[in-house]
Structure 1
Amino acid sequence: KFCSSLAGIMLLEVFLALGTVIIYFLFSKKKEETLSFKEGWWGRGQKPDSEEDTTIRPFKVETTEEELSDLFRRLDQARFTEPLENSCFHYGTNSVYLKKVVSYWKNQFNWKKQVEVLNKYPQFKTKIQGIDIHFVHVKPPRLPEGQSAKPLLMVHGWPGSFYEFYKIIPLLTDPASHGLSDEHIFEVICPSIPGYGFSEAPHKKVLVGPFQFGILYDSLILNVTNFNHTLFLFICVPFSGFIFSHMKGLHLNLASVTNMGVIHLLSILLGRYLPGLFGFQDEDVKRMFPFLKKGLYRILLESGYAHIQATKPDTVGCGLNDSPVGLAAYILEKFSSWTDMEFQNLEDGGLER
């Protein structure tokens, strides 16, 4: 029985591998071409004949009592679904814990003080290819004689915002004041991805994606700095990494393989049985296999959000935009599972660790 079961598993893996190989060769014949720096138009209607006004305008985060009253009304009227017993975070953000978050949100979180924090650094907006792009722009307070600042573009991902970089900005723009070497001093620009935060969302349904956003950012850094060249540095987090796909130099601290070759596929198929052939250590085998459970199944289990956001964003957007509690649950789930999958076994999803 054991041999029969093992043979069945191997046969299934063979069919999966062969199917993947066929799909790979069908869709990988045409190589991706480097995108040209064409002037696009993502604003409403047709692109006007007149030259676009790219004036850089100061921006400040503001809120009103009406907005806060509306928020608290929605928090007060939130309806919670009873979670399954002992489910913790296995099916997403547990509503028992979510109630604690909402209670803190209503009774302790000081939004007005948070607005002051957001306005700590200079912020601006400028029009690029028909849409308003919001960005934080921080210049060094001082520069050693004969030294110039290096332009550094820092791009957030999803779910995130320009605020992710606030704590590191002073270390980059004024390292000497924080006990660091001033050999490298940066002029930092942190934009909001179009459709995120205070950046306007594109109004066209075709060709809107990370590659086009990369072209927008190239225009942005040339518009807002005194650097007359296109050589600049950037730091990005997951998703935003797709925005920059062609560059002269690259340093990764979280590399991923997305273009599978035949050898890679064979390692998935046979690596469990012939680990030495593919350079796998015992720890690699424990972490990767059985691949259907630890690889494919986990991807299917955790990628549902990406599919609905990519294919039906209007539908999911209606609910999340209307319910602050729903949006909080949606994002908190990712903070939990993306930090450590084992946090799904905890009542607080590991969010308080």
Structure 2
Amino acid sequence: MGFMARVLFVVLSLGTAVLYQNYRNISKPLPPPALDVNAYWGPGLASSYKEDASIKPFTIKYAEAVNDLKQQLARPLKLHAPLEDVNFEYGFNSKALRNVITYWRDNYLTRWSEREQFLNQFPQFTTQIQGLKIHFLHVKPTKPGTKKVVPLLLLHGWPGSVREFYELIPFLTTPSKDSDYVFEVIAPSLVGYGWSQGASKKNFGAAEMAVVFRNLMLRVGHKKFLIQGGDWGSIIGSNVATLFPENSIGYHSNLCFTNSLVANIKGFITELYPPLFLEKHQEEFHIPGLDKFFNLLEESGYFHIQATKPDTIGTALLNNPVGLAAYILEKFSTWTNLKYRNLPDGGLTQRFTMDALLDNLMIYYLTDSITTSQRLYAEVYAQNQRDMKMDRVPTSTPTGCARFRHDLAHSTDWQLKDKFTNLVHSTYHNDGGHFIALEQPKILYKDFVEFVKKVMT
């Protein structure tokens, strides 16, 4: 071997060793962060707080606020005309928005007592946990018979609410030939969402919310339970499963995602030669990655402002029903199917009823929770939360991943398995979007019970 060849060999060997060591450093599993399970997040000093552990029935009842809303929506509606030949590509089309406001004012609100009754159909409660009033649905099975009853923590995201689950809950709580199990559902409003009080102190992120909801499950009498979630519910649910494996029977998500550096490297490698890592029918969920990245970038302007200045946009939307409608309902258009941007009405009622969409909107409006809901973005992406590096803390809890074709993003099994070391269920559905519990509850239910069968046997 010549001198230069030897030098090249040494350089390549050293380079390979450095790369390998760097890879080990960035892929090395990390221990879970030490979190105070009794941390106080309410207003004022913890020393003056005495927790009321009682669970109190809750009923949705509004009259004055709804009358005020009727008056606001009766004012002349001043909107800019959309650009010619533009539908939802620039955001919520103002012509479509006029139709929504008209229906909201002249149809939906005239039936508010009916909608209020609908929203009150499931038992609801509040309780104090760590200084915060937490609201939750608690729905027990109807005539379980010989079916085994399993507790389920069901978690929503933004800009959703517990309303997303109203069509799913009957599937979960009614015995079915599809499953040997039936579920006792505990579905909380996320902290700062709906009727759950927002934190009064900084640094309340997804991990801290996971602590609150694990404590909620203990409060209602369940030391072991299943977890299901999408959007923020996916991240919070993942944190519950990671931080409290002793309490977690299994974790199922319809937005399985990990954002570690190693996962991103694996995504790039998959792009180079997909057949090595994906079956043919799976490729369109992940490939071409660059196109999917730019689509996500186009749809994530809200994310940046909420992760940096949530109170500014919150102030603009608070007590502004028309603006709030445009801001929230636009997500139910493009996140359900990106192609709906090209439709004059945004395809809003292709998969949802207008009543269901307005039910969800009313929860944000009536509770004045838009600002506190958006603060979660700022907290999760603050430095102290990033320092936890939860994407590198392995989750040993049995995990199930259900991917729906039109959701915002997807991770491959290869990407997920560094984080979810016990991935026992992985499926691809050729239809469906981000709000799948509201859009196709029966399909989500069937995927979930398939996962449960694997976990419980």
1:67 alignment partner AA: A
Separation of aligned partners in 1, 2:348 and 2:80: 20
Q: Superposition pairs for residues 239-254 of structure 1, below 5 Å?
A: 239-244=232-237, 245=239, 246=242, 247=245, 249-254=250-255
1:131-150 C-alpha deviation (Å, 9 max, x unpaired)? 100011112243436x6521
1:166 maps onto 2:166 in alignment? yes
Do 2:226 and 2:251's aligned partners in 1 also have CA atoms closer than 8 Å? Answer: no
Do 1:53 and 1:127's aligned partners in 2 also have CA atoms closer than 8 Å? Answer: yes
TM-score with structure 2 length normalisation?
0.63
1:110-135 C-alpha deviation (Å, 9 max, x unpaired)? 22211001111111110111110001
Do 1:43 and 1:129's aligned partners in 2 also have CA atoms closer than 8 Å? Answer: yes
Which position in structure 2 is the counterpart of 1:234? 227
CA RMSD of aligned residues (A): 2.9
Which position in structure 2 is the counterpart of 1:302? 299
Q: Superposition pairs for residues 154-303 of structure 1, below 5 Å?
A: 154-175=154-175, 180=177, 183-205=180-202, 207-225=203-221, 227=222, 229=223, 231-244=224-237, 245=239, 246=242, 247=245, 249-261=250-262, 263-264=265-266, 266-267=268-269, 271=272, 284=283, 288-289=287-288, 291-292=289-290, 294-303=291-300
Give, in angstroms, the shift of residue 296 of structure 1: 3.2
1:267 alignment partner AA: I
Do 2:73 and 2:105's aligned partners in 1 also have CA atoms closer than 8 Å? Answer: yes
Do 1:125 and 1:132's aligned partners in 2 also have CA atoms closer than 8 Å? Answer: yes
Give, in angstroms, the shift of residue 189 of structure 1: 0.9
1:299 alignment partner AA: L
Do 1:267 and 1:278's aligned partners in 2 also have CA atoms closer than 8 Å? Answer: no
Which position in structure 1 is the counterpart of 2:82? 83
Do 1:88 and 1:348's aligned partners in 2 also have CA atoms closer than 8 Å? Answer: yes
1:138 maps onto 2:134 in alignment? no
- Which structure has more helix as a fraction of its residues? 2
Separation of aligned partners in 2, 1:163 and 1:236: 14
Give, in angstroms, the shift of residue 235 of structure 1: 1.4
Separation of aligned partners in 2, 1:162 and 1:191: 7
Residue of 68, 71, 81 corresponding to 2:69: 71
Unaligned runs of 5+ in 1: 1-23
Which position in structure 1 is the counterpart of 2:427? none
Go from structure 1 to structure 2 and tell me whether the alpha carbon gap of 1:48 and 1:106 turns closer, same or farther (over 3 Å shift).
same
2:168 alignment partner AA: I
Which position in structure 1 is the counterpart of 2:104? 105
Go from structure 1 to structure 2 and tell me whether the alpha carbon gap of 1:130 and 1:234 turns closer, same or farther (over 3 Å shift).
same
2:234 alignment partner AA: G
Q: Superposition pairs for residues 305-344 of structure 1, below 5 Å?
A: 305-344=302-341
1:146-175 C-alpha deviation (Å, 9 max, x unpaired)? x65211111111111112112222222232
Separation of aligned partners in 1, 2:74 and 2:38: 47
Give, in angstroms, the shift of residue 332 of structure 1: 1.4
Separation of aligned partners in 2, 1:251 and 1:283: 19
Unaligned runs of 5+ in 2: 1-22, 351-457
Go from structure 1 to structure 2 and tell me whether the alpha carbon gap of 1:171 and 1:298 turns closer, same or farther (over 3 Å shift).
closer
SS at match of 2:346: coil
1:134 alignment partner AA: H
2:298 alignment partner AA: L
SS at match of 2:197: coil
Which position in structure 1 is the counterpart of 2:399? none
Do 1:156 and 1:193's aligned partners in 2 also have CA atoms closer than 8 Å? Answer: yes
Do 1:55 and 1:127's aligned partners in 2 also have CA atoms closer than 8 Å? Answer: yes
Aligned length: 317
Separation of aligned partners in 2, 1:160 and 1:128: 22
Give, in angstroms, the shift of residue 187 of structure 1: 1.4
Which position in structure 2 is the counterpart of 1:60? 59
SS at match of 1:352: helix
Give, in angstroms, the shift of residue 281 of structure 1: 5.6
1:292-334 C-alpha deviation (Å, 9 max, x unpaired)? 4x13322221111111112111111112112111111111111
Give, in angstroms, the shift of residue 337 of structure 1: 0.7
2:149 alignment partner AA: A
Separation of aligned partners in 2, 1:25 and 1:62: 56
Go from structure 1 to structure 2 and tell me whether the alpha carbon gap of 1:29 and 1:304 turns closer, same or farther (over 3 Å shift).
farther
Do 2:92 and 2:330's aligned partners in 1 also have CA atoms closer than 8 Å? Answer: yes
SS at match of 1:187: strand
